[in-house]
Structure 1
Amino acid sequence: MASSSSNKSCLYCKDSSSDCFSNGWKLRNGEFAQLCNRCSHLYNTGRFCVTFHSKENGWRNCNSCGKFVHCGCIMSLGEYSLSDFHGVICTDCSRTECISPESESLIPLFEKVLTASDTGTQLGRFIIPKEHAEDHFPEVNDPQGIPMSVLDTAGNEWDLSFRYWIHVTSKMYVLKGLRNFIILNNLQAGDTVAFCARESDRKFVMDVRKSG
């Protein structure tokens, strides 16, 4: 959402002459970086790191098309995903190669309406209701949990962990490692995450539905 330029400057380039400022990436305090027209346009078109970070470390080639992507930078979180084997795949190739609802059938499992606790980036985890955890997730007997690879419908693959702790006399289940997923999708309390299984191999897929 754009805002007035009165007494403001771009968080990145410090320009204060812009006629309006727009939301960029999400900051640790939960607010969004306020960007000038130029920086906002570069960020929204995926050219921010190419323009400003070309001489910094962290650039890698997409395994599929060879395009350079800047890894480990909050400004480029939505520009790549991890490869199944080694390296990274740019978003364009991920959307082509990974299965989405339009290209392969997904089997609905359950939906989770997120709470404020689920959307906190410090913890970066979703609490999974016990009945859904035990009906749909792999069995976990070690409190340290088990690794899980989960897709989203944009073609990104997320390396997560599924674990539990004992609350009173019952198990409480959590899916951890979701900090960047929460930031990328700007998840807020009241948003819904639908968990599905890919028909071909039963791999988990997460789909986001914003509230309102």
Structure 2
Amino acid sequence: MPNGKKRVYDEFDNHVDVDRVIFACPSNAVGNIYPQHGKLEEVILNTPVYADDHHPSSGHMHAVMHSDPKMIEEPFREECLKRASNYVEVTRNDDESINIENQYNFGVQTPGLGIYDMPLKDKPAMLISHSPGKGKIIDPELVRGTGNHARAHPLYSGWNVAAQLSLRLVQGKNGIYYCSNWTTPGNCHDMSLLSGIVCAHAVGAKYPFEKNVEAKKDFFRLRDWMGV
């Protein structure tokens, strides 16, 4: 806009005029939402490659959240539910191709609301299944939801790292900031979240974990990496 502000529209054509904008979305989406980006931004935004660019229809793009412990084979079930972060089965499909089934055990990985202080042995099954093997069916009564992992996992590649490092050349330019999994060196959950905190801090928000020394070290490291 002539006064330097940015007009941001939502899906209902409502708008708000702001001084700065943080894009927390896949890199290609930024290019579509913000067509006024420059040539350098064009190169950076077009560089990241995601896992689903290579296998868009595989079972690992689709997740089922459930509480059916029978998805883990009986000989390993009790021990895995108590201690294992993941349970993986590698089997053959009818066409002899390899199927890799992955069960994320969030009962161990993530403390759920209302059960965070329960002893581990008493926690209910909290599984996320990807690509179940032949003949394995999740009890529909125990399904809690589904998820799609499109654009959730940038590849670990030299090109992606180059794009991430190049962001320092455009972060904050014209009041535009970028955060998300593709803006970090590892695309994991904690760094993706932290990238948002870094950008929020850059536009004036207070850092929320001031007294946590180790967390603050990570904040400074990622802020340096992102060039914010």
TM-score greater than 0.5 by the shorter chain: no
Q: Give the structure with the higher percent helix.
A: 2
TM-score (norm 1): 0.22
Q: Which has the larger radius of gyration?
A: 2
